[in-house]
Structure 1
Amino acid sequence: MPSRGGLYVVTGQEFSRGRPYSEVVKACIKGGAGIIQLREKHWPASKILKVGRELRQITREAGVLFIINDRVDLAAAVEADGVHIGQRDVSLERVRKTVGPKMIVGVSAGTPEEARAAELHGASYIGVGPIFPTETKKDARPPRGLLVLGDIRQSVGLPIYAIGGIKIHNVASVIKAGADGAAVVSAVVGAEDIAGAARAFVDKIKKAK
């Protein structure tokens, strides 16, 4: 990956107060987000393609990485920088064979064993969580807590992004515990001032390193 750490914003239309996707993402970028992930699990492929192409143009012009959740085919179609998959999604080996060695492939992991397996099979980064209780993802595993970040940090050499219940008051703790960056959903895209919220996270992350 071109960069390591920082603020990784995961989008969610249900949290963005009805604001247009392009407006939300531009504000995230203005605030300093280095990675944007389009995650809309219930959207039809046609809508993901339409919005994905728009966001691809915005992120490319800004020099920000663009990731699509789950859908390897759609990530390739819109020329996204990468795709993110979970433990219950398509296998990492299959994804890597499909996209080749250059595309970024992020993998969710909740244990050192899962993280090591992901690194072995070609993951580009690890998303670790949920660290804290979260209402963003209804089918999320139980919270892992901060200690798992240190355990995974000692197990792999890949960039680690903490996710799950990350708020401005606890983001420094995940960096100090071993994460390179923080993946945030509602605390940024649901904020009244999106750019300001993103900027506050970026500042906290930098100071915690």
Structure 2
Amino acid sequence: MNHSSWRTYLVTGADRSAGRETPEIVADALAGGIDVVQLREKGTDARSRYRLGLRLRELTAEAGVPLVVNDRVDLAAAVDADGVHLGQSDLPAEVAREQLGSDAVVGVSASTPAEAREAVDAGADYLGVGAVYGTDSKDVPDERDGIGPEGVRAVAEAVDVPAIGIGGIDADNARAVVDAGATGVAVVSAITAAEDPRATTEALREAVDSE
């Protein structure tokens, strides 16, 4: 799997979807050209997340887009996801790899070069770097001020795996994150809360790919 081609990355969040169902948001984002989808939905019980994961697996498989599950290695396996994304307090990357197999994608959150190097040494395929800008989202680390593009640059230069910026990113500031060395950007409410998630995804892609 070519993680370096991941330019736009959606993290789901029903609590930030303006009352719409997550499959509807994901379908619109896929139509808009999103490169990867992460199932988060921490506020729901395991069975509900499992059912949602099966539906998202159908949508992403049809679109040829990877599906990653946040935190839950068991859920990733149960819905036949492409991999898992882990935070600093979750299972180590090497344990997830043992459970999911050598072909699974394993991402890890990192906000410093030290965390990034540790994650890569443990087998991370890519890093979720942030929070880049100030955000109150529960879906990214609690960083009110954010590490900024320069923080992204420090992490990206410390490792050889793709770095995906996350936290407070939208079409207006995404290019600065990529210019700092990120392979792409991940968003939650920028897409889920948008009036037109498909058009917003297209705008995000245009911003990331602009020169």
Q: TM-score range by the shorter chain?
A: over 0.9
Pairing 1:125-164 to 2, within 5 Å after superposition: 125-137=126-138, 140-142=142-144, 143-164=146-167
Pairing 1:1-209 to 2, within 5 Å after superposition: 1-4=1-4, 5-137=6-138, 140-142=142-144, 143-208=146-211
Distance 2:171 2:66 in 1: 22
Distance 2:22 2:29 in 1: 11
Which amino acid is the alignment partner of residue 192 of structure 2? V
Distance 1:152 1:164 in 2: 15
CA deviations on 1:159-195 (whole Å, 9 max, x unpaired) are 1100000022111100001100000110111100000
**Identity across aligned pairs (percent)?**
42
Distance 1:12 1:36 in 2: 11
TM-score, with length taken from structure 1: 0.96
Q: How far has the Cα of 1:2 moved from its partner?
A: 2.5
RMSD: 1.3
What is the count of residue pairs matched by the alignment?
208
Q: Which runs of 5+ in 1 are unaligned?
A: none
> SS where residue 162 of structure 1 aligns?
strand
Distance 2:126 2:157 in 1: 14
Q: How far has the Cα of 1:21 moved from its partner?
A: 1.8
Q: How far has the Cα of 1:80 moved from its partner?
A: 0.3
Q: How far has the Cα of 1:3 moved from its partner?
A: 4.1
Q: Which runs of 5+ in 2 are unaligned?
A: none
CA deviations on 1:120-141 (whole Å, 9 max, x unpaired) are 1110100000010012127613
Distance 1:17 1:148 in 2: 31
Distance 1:96 1:190 in 2: 33
Q: How far has the Cα of 1:93 moved from its partner?
A: 2.2
Distance 2:170 2:9 in 1: 13
Q: Say which is worse superposed, 176-185 or 11-20, in terms of deviation.
A: 11-20
Structure 1's consecutive aligned runs of 4 or more residues displaced over 4 angstroms after TM superposition are none
TM-score, with length taken from structure 2: 0.95
CA deviations on 1:16-55 (whole Å, 9 max, x unpaired) are 1111222111100011101011111121110011000000
Q: How far has the Cα of 1:196 moved from its partner?
A: 0.2
Distance 2:103 2:114 in 1: 24
